[in-house]
Amino acid sequence: MAGRSPFVPIFLITNFILRIVLSVMCGQGQFVEFLCATVIGIFNDFIVLIYLAPLIMVITHFISRNKISIFIWYFVVTFFCIFTIIAEFLFWQEFENRFNFIAVDYLIYTKEVIGNITESYNVSLIILVTSVIALIVAKLLPIVFHSRFGWMKFGLSIVLGGIVFGVFDSSKIEFSNNRYANEISKNGLYELFSAFRHNDLPFERFYVTENQEELTESLRKNIQLDEQDSIFLGRHNIARQITSRKKSKKLNIVLIMVESLSASFLEHFGNCEKLTPNIDRLFERSMVFTNVRAAGTRTVYGLAAVNLSIPPIPGNSIIRRRDNENLSTIGSILKENGYACKFVYGGFGYFDNMNYFFENNDYEIIDRNKIDKKNITFANNWGICDEDLFDAVIREADKSAETKQPFFLMVMTTSNHRPFSYPDGKIDIPSKTGRAGGVKYTDFAIGQFLEQAKDKGVWFEDTIFVITADHTAGSAGKLELDPSKYHIPLIIFAPKHIAPQAVNTLASQIDIGPTLLALLNLSYESKFFGHDILATKNERAFISNYQRIGYLNPSKLIIFKPINQAEIYKKNGDEFTKTDEKDNNLQREALQYFQSATKWRSWNKKKKEKYSTEQKSARMASPTGFEPVLPP
């Protein structure tokens, strides 16, 4: 490092303080474990310093040797280090992780993210306090600065950085079964750039694998057990013709994906805060699935699971990947059966590549850009309020009803998202006071929507309303993947057509589509991995968090990690305990889904490309695999 640059001590001290704070928040008396996390964390901090050494050498070499220049450098270094740990602390409060791939997205979608941050936090105060502290520290530091730049030292630092780049991986030194301790031991800057570098995770390189032909054959046999009225259309995939023996029903579908609606928010699942009175009232009149798990931790993973009926795969959601056009989705199947299919979203659909995916997979887009401003009564940076969103749903349903065309509306809400702001006076929790208000306001909007829909007469009576979640409000726990943290509601409400009942079968988001199509008695060509929950003989669910993927059955959980490793947990009561035993049958059972799902491009394509050469060229040129288009 160059001279007496203050970067090294300030960087180490601020990261040490952050680890102490996080350890106090999450330690729960496990002193030794979190002491280890701190020691390993210091090692990880030095790894980052090795990467930064050449840059700091160059900067300090060119700084003028007068007191003002050195004071400014001290201030910038201190401000950067303090601001970074504050950002990490706030990120931890939201996601209970050090910086990861979500933080990478924050750098891509600056409009939404910066707007969301300014609406959620007093950024001016944070900058002011950070600046004051940085000024004080810079003033107290001795103004002594000697440059020791040398080409030999500079070259050696680059070589050392290259060696570390080639051999070091923070995930390989995880030391505990406690996920919090592992996360605290990491360095946020390293994890940020690592997430950017590992945006894609080739399954065959990073994960345990088995013979694909054998896995495909096993998967086909399992599917055949659930779908006796299906015929496979080839030998090397799961494409099949499903034939219903009953007369099909051309019922409308409104599928509401509620932002971050954990099952734990509902009174039916034990919550005593009365946050969801309208949704809870539906339980006595609906088909309720009590044991469903979300596939991932972000909206795009939930949307992919429900639309494509595919298990989670490591890395980016398919919605954000290249070559994701013209796939077999719920929408494409319903469109072939005469439905008007629309994706209705309160935000700007360019976010997370949603518009591109849905537009090129048989949906019409109704996002914030398509909603007349006169119909928007309240909006924050994340999207319009859920009342306005559901008003748009009513308008789109009316349009289809006028032409007597059945419709499928996939609705994605936004109000239950930070900054949790919504119109005043609607509920008894003030706007911008936290998650509880976001949940209760969304419930209010859903209740009002259903009441308004009742006045529509025939289209209401002939509509299946589905209420579920894109993911839960928080998936972090002591386990790397905690099944209880992925529990979401699934309610199917159609009083005239579907009898109320509780279904306790363990199931996944990927099963929602096949179950709905079965309720409609549709015959169709399926490339889905999911099954009809009401007919299945196989209880299982899939959970994931970008790098780790888990397969859950009623008694066991297997987690695959991107270090060619699989870990098995046994269920004891409501808890899962890690075991050292091997279970080849469970591993093969899980891999028949996960490994096969990585073949989605070849297994799911349904027709020739319809997007333009210009669109494809723009997407292929994008380093992230998609090309966000800013709204006008």
User: Looking at the predicted structure, is the pLDDT value of residue 618 above 50?
Assistant: no
pLDDT interval class at 99 (50, 70, 90)? confident
- Look at residue 469 and tell me if it is in a domain: yes
pLDDT tens for each residue of 143-189: 665 556 678 888 888 899 888 888 887 777 777 777 788 888 999 88
| Total structural domains within the chain | 2
What mean pLDDT do residues 309-334 have? 92
**The length of the chain, given as a count of residues:** 632
pLDDT interval class at 131 (50, 70, 90)? very high
pLDDT of residue 629: 33
pLDDT of residue 110: 57
Specify the CATH number for the domain of residue 474: 3.40.720.10
- Look at residue 574 and tell me if it is in a domain: no
Cα distances (Å, whole numbers) of residue 543 to 473, 548, 564, 577: 14, 9, 18, 17
Q: CA–CA separation, 63 vs 61, rounded Å?
A: 6
The least confident of 9-23, 94-108, 342-356 is 94-108
- Of 483, 517, 538, which marks where a domain is finished? 538
pLDDT of residue 197: 63
3-state SS assignment for residue 387:
helix
- Look at residue 595 and tell me if it is in a domain: no
Residue with tokens 């390993």: 40
User: Looking at the predicted structure, is the pLDDT value of residue 352 above 50?
Assistant: yes
What mean pLDDT do residues 306-334 have? 93
The answer on 295 and 178 residing in a single domain is: no
pLDDT interval class at 545 (50, 70, 90)? confident
The least confident of 109-113, 330-334, 491-495 is 109-113
- Look at residue 543 and tell me if it is in a domain: no
User: Looking at the predicted structure, is the pLDDT value of residue 477 above 90?
Assistant: no
φ and ψ of 244, to 5 deg: -90, 140
Nearest CA-CA partner of 173 in 335, 333, 55, 47: 47
pLDDT of residue 31: 77
The answer on 181 and 278 residing in a single domain is: no
The answer on 432 and 302 residing in a single domain is: yes
User: Looking at the predicted structure, is the pLDDT value of residue 401 above 60?
Assistant: yes
User: Looking at the predicted structure, is the pLDDT value of residue 623 above 90?
Assistant: no
pLDDT tens for each residue of 209-262: 999 999 999 999 999 888 878 899 988 899 999 999 999 999 999 999 999 999
Cα distances (Å, whole numbers) of residue 324 to 195, 310, 610, 615, 622: 22, 13, 12, 12, 14
Q: CA–CA separation, 621 vs 615, rounded Å?
A: 10
Nearest CA-CA partner of 439 in 455, 450, 428: 428
The answer on 299 and 182 residing in a single domain is: no
The answer on 188 and 315 residing in a single domain is: no
In percent, the amount of the chain with pLDDT more than 90 equals 58
CB 323 within 8 A of CB 620: no
- Look at residue 102 and tell me if it is in a domain: yes
* Residue 27 DSSP code: -
The answer on 421 and 524 residing in a single domain is: yes
pTM of the model: 0.76
The answer on 270 and 175 residing in a single domain is: no
The answer on 256 and 193 residing in a single domain is: no
- Of 504, 538, 572, which marks where a domain is finished? 538
Cα distances (Å, whole numbers) of residue 238 to 221, 327, 395, 612: 10, 14, 38, 29
3-state SS assignment for residue 317:
coil
User: Looking at the predicted structure, is the pLDDT value of residue 606 above 80?
Assistant: no
The answer on 172 and 110 residing in a single domain is: yes
The mean pLDDT value of the chain amounts to 87
606 CA to centre of own chain: 26
pLDDT interval class at 630 (50, 70, 90)? very low
- Look at residue 599 and tell me if it is in a domain: no
The answer on 93 and 167 residing in a single domain is: yes
User: Looking at the predicted structure, is the pLDDT value of residue 90 above 50?
Assistant: yes
Higher pLDDT, 437 or 192: 437
- Look at residue 12 and tell me if it is in a domain: yes
pLDDT of residue 382: 87
pLDDT tens for each residue of 28-86: 557 788 888 889 999 999 999 998 888 888 887 777 667 888 888 889 999 999 999 99
> What is the full DSSP assignment across 495-560?
TTTS--EEE---EEGGGHHHHHHHHTT--EEE--S---TTT-S---EEEE-SS-EEEE-SSEEEEE
The answer on 479 and 368 residing in a single domain is: yes
Q: CA–CA separation, 137 vs 12, rounded Å?
A: 15
Q: In which domain, by residue range, is 385 found?
A: 248-538
Longest dimension (CA), the chain: 86
- Look at residue 242 and tell me if it is in a domain: no
Q: Which residues of 391-400 are buried (b: 16+ CB within 10 A; e: fewer)?
A: bbbbebbeeb
The answer on 418 and 333 residing in a single domain is: yes
Residues in Cβ contact with 615 at an 8 Å cutoff, skipping those fewer than 6 apart: 356
Q: CA–CA separation, 467 vs 488, rounded Å?
A: 10
User: Looking at the predicted structure, is the pLDDT value of residue 201 above 90?
Assistant: no
Locate 622 and state its tokens.
Answer: 């994008």
- Of 517, 538, 559, which marks where a domain is finished? 538
Task: Tell me whether residue 541 is exposed, middle or buried, using C-beta atoms within 10 angstroms of its C-beta: 0 to 12, 13 to 18, 19 or more.
Answer: buried
User: Looking at the predicted structure, is the pLDDT value of residue 3 above 60?
Assistant: no
